[in-house]
Amino acid sequence: MIQFIKFGIVGVSNTLISYVMYMIGIGLGFHYLLANFLAFTVSVINSFYWNNRYVFKKGEGEARSPFKVFVKTALSYAGTGLVLSSILLAVQVDMLGVPKWLAPLINLAVTVPLNFILNKLWAFRSESD
């Protein structure tokens, strides 16, 4: 439970950074899907750094390759933060008329739990498991 709370703290900061990047992209006139890609890129780097350092720290005697963890983190977020999020954005904005600024906030209910599960069970899993 403590780990999930830490993940939530990192996730809130990551979400804020991602949302700010998304809104900057929208403000610069980017298509909302391009703005989502910009937000995704920044959020993967931020998430990897803080989750690796603070949430899913290596235990004594655990082996974990930072490069492999980063690739797995990027793939995890690509599935939820880019592909799934982009599909949800397209449905919400283009089909349901949800405002571009609100749709990414609604998507958090789906993407956050999935990101935690993927990070905990796959991306930050020690190589000795």
CA 9 to chain centre: 13
Q: For residue 46, give the nearest of 75, 17, 85, 21 by alpha carbon.
A: 17
What is the rounded CA–CA span in Å between residue 129 and residue 125?
7
Domain ranges of the chain: 2-123
List, in order, residues 6 or more apart from 110 with CB less than 8 Å away. Answer: 80, 84, 88
Write the DSSP symbol of residue 62.
-
Q: Which residue has the tokens 């492999």?
A: 68
Q: What is the pLDDT of residues 66-121, one digit of tens each?
A: 888 888 888 877 887 788 888 999 999 999 999 999 998 898 888 878 877 887 78
pLDDT of residue 114: 83
